[in-house]
Structure 1
Amino acid sequence: MSQERPDASTEFIDYNDCLSTLGANPEGLTREQAQQRLVEYGQNSLSIEKGDIALIMFLRQFKSPLVYVLILAAAISLLGGHAEDTIVIAIILVINSLIGFTQEWRAEKTIESVKKLIEEKSIVIRNGEELEIPSIEIVPGDLLLLNAGEKVPADARIVFERNLHVDESLLTGESVPIKKDVICLIEKPHYYEELNKVFAGSFVTQGRARVLVEKTGDQTVLGEINRELQEVEKEPTSIEIRLRRLSIFFLGLAFSFLILTLLLGFYRQIETYELILFSLSSLVSAIPEGLIAVITIVLSVGVYRLSRKNVIVRNLSVVETLGLVNVICSDKTGTLTRNQMMARRIFTPNNYYEVSGVGFDVESGSIFLEGCGPEDCLRSDHLHKEIDVEMKAPINREGLRKFPDLEMLLSYLALCNDSDLYTECLTENDPIRKCTGEDQIWRIRGSPTEAALIVALEKTGLHKYVLDESWPRISEIPFTSDRKFMATLHKPSLAVQEDHPSLANQDSNLLIVKGAPERVEEFLNKSSGTKDVVSDFASQGLRVLSCAIRHLPKDHLQITEKDLASMEFVGLCGINDPPREGVKDYIMKAERAGIDVIMVTGDNEFTAKAIGKEVGIYRPEKNDRSLVGDIIDAMDDDELRHALEQRSNILARTNPIHKLRIVKALQNSGKIVAMTGDGVNDSPALRQANVGIAMGITGTDIAKEAADIVLQDERFESVVDGVDEGRHILNTFRRVVLFLTSTNFAESFVILATLLLFVNPVLLLPLQILWVNLVTDGMLDIALSLEPKEKGLLDQPPTSMAERVLSRQTILRALFYGAIMAIIVMTVYFLYLGQGAKLRTMLFVSLIVTQWFSIQNCRSPTKSAFTLGILKNRVIWVVYVIDILLVAILFILPPLTTLFELVPLAPLDWILVVGLGTLVFIIEEVRKRVAIKMQN
């Protein structure tokens, strides 16, 4: 257990005082000091709740009221001398638990395989020397060296930095890297406003720094969020609530029938042994022993279907809850968007261009004259009235010669650039062979914004490394948040004339400036006249960069801000983190399904609204609204709930506390909430949500631990597909419960009727009832659970959590089916009255046969089996064959025949039973057809 740190705050005090408070020095800690602090404060790791051990996970499967009832039935069977019944019930309980345990265990192992197995290391300064150590050994007072591409391992104060930019999106949701500085700040209300500090879990995208570690492990901002996460109690899932209600229903039903059986037995003065046997039969008949196992199988089938769509389900019971979801709270960065900045629109004084493609993938998409590409024109008034046919093609290396303005702009933006692109293999390849195509993924070093400019260049067939060789950099003015621009000076090489004729100028050095349009405008020799263009780009949520150049004498080798004058405007580039392909269609699909999609992001309101408009979440014409974190802070819970009910679909500048409050407010409005996210900042809300959904690739381990579902492909579409699958499971759940309940009613009606009508009743044995409930019904239930998915589930409104699976209508239908089956079985009873063992055998067989026909009735509450396709669910017919063979075995093998107290039957007996059994199907088919005609 790590020790708490001293109360002395280090946030807003002088650097030297900070060193003193932490007991550090400019040369770093000594090895002895570091070891002592490691013992004192503990490892630099988070106290993440560990998963259950296998035994606990297995025993948890027995946690159900219905299971408790089955255990009670097994105990009564044992006390009544029917050990075989006890063994059968025990076997089915173990099988059910193994199914649930196997699924949860596999899900946990899959999650572990997704996590990175490579131990993270960091460079620290100790005794004045640079050492590479495991990040978990970092302690307060350590001096760290951070470079581009590295993960920040602890909360630390910046001592020295050079152009340091940090991506804090996993903490804050803000997609744009933050520029950090060595400055003394006045107190800030939020950690993400402390620009002189870096925080564990963030990434250095650009520059380098030396930082002084202030907090490690659970004391970091990351640790605080993790502690809040552990305090969030997970609400029971929909199916857990429904199963609890069903258990109470069946428990009441079982004891009601048991009491009626006892009362009738005493009235008939039946002997004690027989009365115990009858009571046990009554109890067993009223309990759907196979329900838990079948529901587990139904959910497992749903989990398998989702796994084929790269969706890992950690908790079986949450699959059905997906079908009830009526609000999806989606993170923007990495979920609705790819978290990969991309150039979208380009302007030069001669043309407008549009860029297509997917994120950093150079090989996807191209650059077109605006209005000629696959995305078509975004603004018709910018189009040329007539465009040459050849110009409608994607602009490649050869075609670029027709657009020297584009070549110059892209080249200058790539030269005045500190980022880089590289590919990474996704699979293990032959080291001699380069991985290509689907085997590789494009990665970046440095700023995502600058990387987007390089991607645009590479789409045309030009390469940054060639430009860097042709125009080597000799001086620079680095970008800062105060300057809002970057400038570089380049001298020409001999290859310029041949490789880049558009850029050729051997007699001068090239000065390039790139930055915010308003700053670059200050350096121009004349106004660019692009104010309207900049506003147009910005209104679409694009981050706009302007570029200008100036030629300087070849002996001019150093630049200062004084040189940034009389520059020539080259063009503009609009960049954003674009929506994922297909997101808009799926958001519309969700809307048709009665599901509200709300964007919850740490990004600024302007960017969030722009992306919201693009994907169809934010539509001012439909009175959609937006809220920002500061306004949420000023609201109490009731005001927040009311604001969310008024179509506040864009929630920007939100922190972890905001997200948690938002989910709770929606739940207090009666909403079933699915929350998506990948960052640490999403974790408390992921756990609070009815369905927490984490991203599998970019998601943090904390987010995955908090979630119920992990999306391996990180596609928003998978969420909507999950809702579709959840609705199918809910319908399957209803069908299964209807089938099992009607069987239980039939068995109970038969037992009560025989006790009421006959002095010396002959009843089904408990073991025979268990066979019907577990073998025949169990297999048919599995077949019913594999009924093909209905079309148009997402065109229907979501079901309310309050709506019971055993609704009044379902109970009436089950009573109707049960009564028909009971009448048929009692008909057999009267026909074979007085024939002892043969009567019991006929009752057993007739109950099995009626189930064969009842299953067809339960496939749909309204549609005829012929409309559905009598042969469409082939699994049912396979089960028919298997069940016939199993029943035949009972009659063929003497030990089983004796155990079940069966006698041989004549062919006419079988014909009679099957003939009467068809009435179950015929009567219901007639009822459905009459109901359809009346409805029409």
Structure 2
Amino acid sequence: MSLLNAWFNAFLRSRRAGNLFGRRAMPEAGYGRGSTQAAPATLTAGLLALAQGSDADALATLQSHVDGLSPHEAEERLQRFGPNEVDHEKPLPWWRHLWQCYRNPFNLLLTVLAAVSWLTEDAKATVVIGAMVVLSTLIRFVQEGRSNRAAERLKALVGNTARVLRRAAGTEAAEVADQYFGAQLHSRRPARLLDLPIRDLVPGDHIVLSAGDMIPADCRVLAAKDLFVAQAAMTGESLPVEKFVQAGNAEAGLMEQANLLFMGTNVVSGTATALVLATGNTSYFGTLAQRSSASDRAPTAFQAGVNSVSWLLIRFALVMVPFVLLVNGWTKGDWTEAFLFALSVAVGLTPEMLPMIVTSTLAKGAVLLSRRKVIVKRLDAIQNFGAMEVLCTDKTGTLTQDKIALERHTDVFGQDSEDVLTFAYLNSHFQTGLINLLDRAVLEHVELQSSLRLSQDYRKVDEIPFDFERRRMSVVVSEREDHHELICKGAVEEMLAVCSTVRENGQDMPLDEQRLARVRQTTEELNEQGLRVVAVAMKETAASQSVYTQADECELTLVGYVAFLDPPKESAAHALQALAAHGVEVKVFTGDNELVTARVCAQVGLDADTIVTGPQIERMDDAAVARALQEHRVFARLTPLHKERLVRELRAQGKVVGFLGDGINDAPALRAADIGISVDSAVDIAKEAADIILLEKNLMVLEEGVIQGRRTFSNMLKYIRMTASSNFGNVFS
């Protein structure tokens, strides 16, 4: 209890000071052993402490009440903590953007030469050189401005609201608190359920959640019923996670706490009442968002290359011009004429069109990619595309569709079976409870509905709903009014507990020890393929029975399994093959588990025999991480800062690195890469951190980007070689 109070007091002091988990609290850019936490230690420790204590401890720590805050308390906290908003990367003012478009060594050199030409009354040289600088700067400014405005339109959000319980000042019904908290938490004070803007939430508020709701802040669950939450944007895990009221596990990490909900995730099914723990920039989402925008980008490979060429030409001019001035002045004795001649040498050595050529070729590449529905936010990203040597990609939502699909339907020993699919379809079709993602995946087989003639051949008799103790559900149907069939599906172990026979080659055989071992081996093999397995069983009953209970779920016959997977995008395999053909190595960095990752990688043609995990990276120093990156292509169970560390290590090896991702957990790595690539369905923070946004899910655009980048680089190189050689020849002669 003292730890919780100490944390919340620090929370209040730091938030008043305006720097809680702010940029000064962000982890340093350098990484070493044990330094890859996904969020600041203070935040992690505080949320873990609130998760592991009792409900009463959490309420006391946050100085809240079992029936919510009063309007006065909420208003006072809103003034103290500020609105529940995450600071996004703000667009640059036009004048700063214009300066960034102008600022590079070569433009500065040309500006100096134009100024000297003007001082020496060489109007033609002044106009030509000045025009090259102005046109180069304006083309970049206009093209990047258009792209940034298009990206901003993508991020335009509709104002959302949350249902909040606030203590009523009057005599409104006290049953409101009972309904959402349960009698054990109710203090018999009246409460009101209000729809409030999400930005008005404060720590200590109580919110009511249901299926489809976005979770607006970091919260602790106070009451829940069948609550499943999608955390893919935070963890990369494609399947929903079940949340409970029970106190958290001291051995588990922050994201694995079953009673914590995080801003930026959403409710898939069920209902809950939750206590708001942290809002805005102080949330887990907010800290990652701040980290992704707090540090300035390191120069990319293209910027470093252009700067290198510019300084090479500048150094060449700094050597040649004084030499020509001294030789000419000493031999002819006319130092004024020698100075003017030396100035002409400086102008002659300088390829004035270089900034114009660079900008125009990059702008042309951006226009060509825009026709393929690609937003290029930074023109330099075009050339980085071409120079890219390693593409690091997230899995969920980028290589995969982020949508659960039915992958296999097999009998008890792993052979494909249409009967199993039929039974699973009947179960999902006739149930009246909340249809989850797995049911939807089964119901997408529309061909079954016509072939089964559901309205003619089957009639629903009864249903035994799902609950999380049994972890199964059953429907009873009548087939042609002849007999009843009880069809049950659920978790494998819970289903085996109520099965006495298995269907083997059309015959029902006893479930003895030998067959049970084979059944477990089959399900383990499916799990090793990264599949989520649901068992299907049935039994026939007399047509005279009309009411069924949980007691009837016994002596069932196990008929097989339906197995689910988040499938890869149709274009993923072809895109990766095309990139490999162009010499681009692909590595997978994902927060999902290694079994699912291995399966997806196999489907898209990536070698995933050995997978390195986040916990293993935690124990590695930088040298060991470098070796792992050289030897392996797939990395799983990664935190956001693991991904960033791996990207930085690749760049430290001299590689030009691209990163493809769409979640908040990808934002730090997107900024650390030479080129960050995201998709239109990505979270706002990921789109802000990206250099390129794909408006369509077709990953073949990546190949076109590589080709366009290399074409752009080739055009620039041709000009530099041609101009430098001809100019040097003229000066030498």
1:562-711 map, 5 Å: 562-620=551-609, 625-646=610-631, 648-697=632-681, 699-711=682-694
TM-score for both structures, normalised by structure 2:
0.83
Q: Superposed, which structure 2 residues align to 1:200-349 within 5 Å?
A: 200-269=263-332, 271=334, 274-348=337-411
Any idea what the Cα deviations from partners look like across 1:471-498, whole Å, max 9, x if unmatched?
27654132x3x64x32134576xxxxxx
Q: Assess, with a 3 A threshold, how the Cα gap between structure 1 residues 450 and 60 changes in structure 2: closer, same or farther.
A: same
**Farther-moved stretch of structure 1 (143-152 vs 456-465):** 456-465
The 2-side partners of 1:329 and 1:545 are apart by 33
Q: Is 1:414–1:457's contact at 8 Å kept on the other side of the alignment?
A: no
- Cα deviation code 1:232-266 (max 9, x no counterpart): 44221222112211111221233334224323432
Matched residue of 2:341: which SS? helix
Distance 2:553 2:359 in 1: 70
CA distance in 2, matches of 1:102, 1:419: 51
Alignment CA distance shift 1:462-1:176 (3 Å)? farther
Matched, 1:488 2:551: no
Structure-1 residue corresponding to 2:178 = none
Q: CA deviation at 1:185?
A: 2.0
- TM-superposed CA distance for 1:50, in Å, is 0.6
Between the aligned partners of 1:464 and 1:211, the Cα distance in structure 2 is 44
Higher CA-based Rg: 1
Aligned-partner residue type, residue 549 of structure 2: I
Contact 1:663 1:685 in 2 (8 A): yes
Are the structure 2 counterparts of residues 741 and 222 from structure 1 closer, same or farther at C-alpha, using a change threshold of 3 Å?
same
Q: 1:549 aligns with which of 521, 526, 538?
A: 538
**Contact 1:550/1:567 (CA < 8 Å) preserved in 2?**
yes
The question of whether the paired residues in 2 share the 8 Å contact of 1:334 and 1:714 is answered with no
Shift in alpha-carbon separation, 1:293–1:466, aligned structure 2, 3 A: farther
Note the residue ranges of structure 1 that are not aligned, 5 or more in a row: 354-368, 370-402, 421-446, 493-502, 754-936
Indicate whether 1:413 and 2:413 are aligned: no
1:841-890 alpha-carbon deviations (Å, 9 max, x no partner): xxxxxxxxxxxxxxxxxxxxxxxxxxxxxxxxxxxxxxxxxxxxxxxxxx
**Alignment identity in percent?**
28
Deviation digits for residues 658-708 of structure 1, max 9, x if unmatched? Answer: 1112112222333222111111011111111121112222x1111111111
Change (3 A) 1:600 1:463: farther
- Measure the CA separation in 2 of the matches of 1:506 and 1:30: 61
In structure 2, what is the Cα distance between the partners aligned to 1:693 and 1:548? 45
Aligned in 2, Cα 1:245/1:467: closer, same or farther, shift over 3 Å? farther
Aligned-pair CA distance for 1:466: 6.8
**1:158 aligns to what SS in structure 2?**
strand
The alpha-carbon distance between structure 1 residues 458 and 477, as it changes in their structure 2 partners (threshold 3 A), is: same
Structure-2 change in CA distance of 1:682 and 1:350 (3 Å) = closer
Larger relative contact order, structure 1 or 2 (CA cutoff 8 Å, min sep 6): 2
Residue 717 of structure 2 corresponds to residue 722 of structure 1: no
Aligned amino acid, residue 136 of structure 2: N
Q: Match for residue 54 of structure 2?
A: 14
Give the deviation of 1:406 after TM superposition.
Answer: 4.6
Return the offset for 1:533: 4.6
Matches within 5 A, 1:144-223: 144-223=207-286
Evaluate the alpha carbon distance shift between residue 459 and residue 693 of structure 1 in structure 2; reply closer, same or farther with a 3 A threshold. farther
Alpha carbons of structure 1 residues 326 and 405: separation in structure 2 relative to 1, 3 Å: closer
Contact 2:409 2:420 in 1 (8 A): no
SS in 2 for 1:11: helix
Check conservation: 2:217, 2:280, Cα contact below 8 A: yes
1:289–1:461: structure 2 CA closer, same or farther, 3 Å change rule?
farther
Residues 489 and 558, structure 1, Cα contact 8 Å, conserved in 2: no
Deviations 1:182-201 (A, max 9, x none): 10124245211110111101
Shift of 1:465: 10
Q: 2:488 aligned with 1:513, yes or no?
A: yes
- Match of 2:570, SS? coil
How far does residue 15 in structure 1 lie from its aligned partner after superposition?
Answer: 0.5
Kindly provide the CA deviation profile for residues 889-913 of structure 1, in whole angstroms up to 9, marking residues without a partner as x: xxxxxxxxxxxxxxxxxxxxxxxxx
Are 2:662 and 2:678, in contact at CA under 8 Å, matched by a contact in 1? yes
Q: CA deviation at 1:303?
A: 1.4
Cα distance, 1:714 vs structure 2: 3.3
SS in 2 for 1:674: strand
- Of residues 99, 115, 140, the one that matches 2:139 is 99
Gaps of 5+ in 2: 1-13, 21-41, 168-190, 504-514
Shift of 1:535: 4.5
Aligned to 1:748: 731
Cα distance change on mapping 1:101 and 1:328 into 2, 3 Å: same
Q: 1:511 to 1:36 in 2, by over 3 A?
A: farther
Q: Does 1:559 align with 2:559?
A: no
1:153 alignment partner, SS class:
coil
How many Å separate the matches in 2 of 1:133 and 1:714?
A: 35
For residues 555 and 463 of structure 1, do their structure 2 counterparts lie closer, same or farther at Cα, with a shift above 3 Å needed?
closer
Native 8 Å contact 2:393 2:587 kept in 1: yes
SS of corresponding position for 2:406 = strand
User: Which letter does structure 1 place at the counterpart of 2:425?
Assistant: L
1:81 to 2:98 alignment: no
SS at the partner of 2:213? Answer: coil
Q: CA 1:91/1:594 → structure 2, altered by over 3 Å: closer, same or farther? A: closer
TM-score, normalisation: structure 1: 0.66
The structure 1 residue matched to 2:717, chosen from 709, 726, 734, is 734
How far apart in 2 are the matches of 1:309 and 1:218? 36
How far does the alpha carbon of each residue in 1:801-840 deviate from its partner, in whole angstroms, 9 at most, with x for none?
xxxxxxxxxxxxxxxxxxxxxxxxxxxxxxxxxxxxxxxx
SS in 2 for 1:335: coil
1:43 corresponds to: 83
Q: What CA RMSD, in Å, does the superposition of the two structures yield over aligned residues? A: 2.9
Structure 1's 585 and 290: CA in aligned 2 closer, same or farther, altered over 3 A?
Answer: same
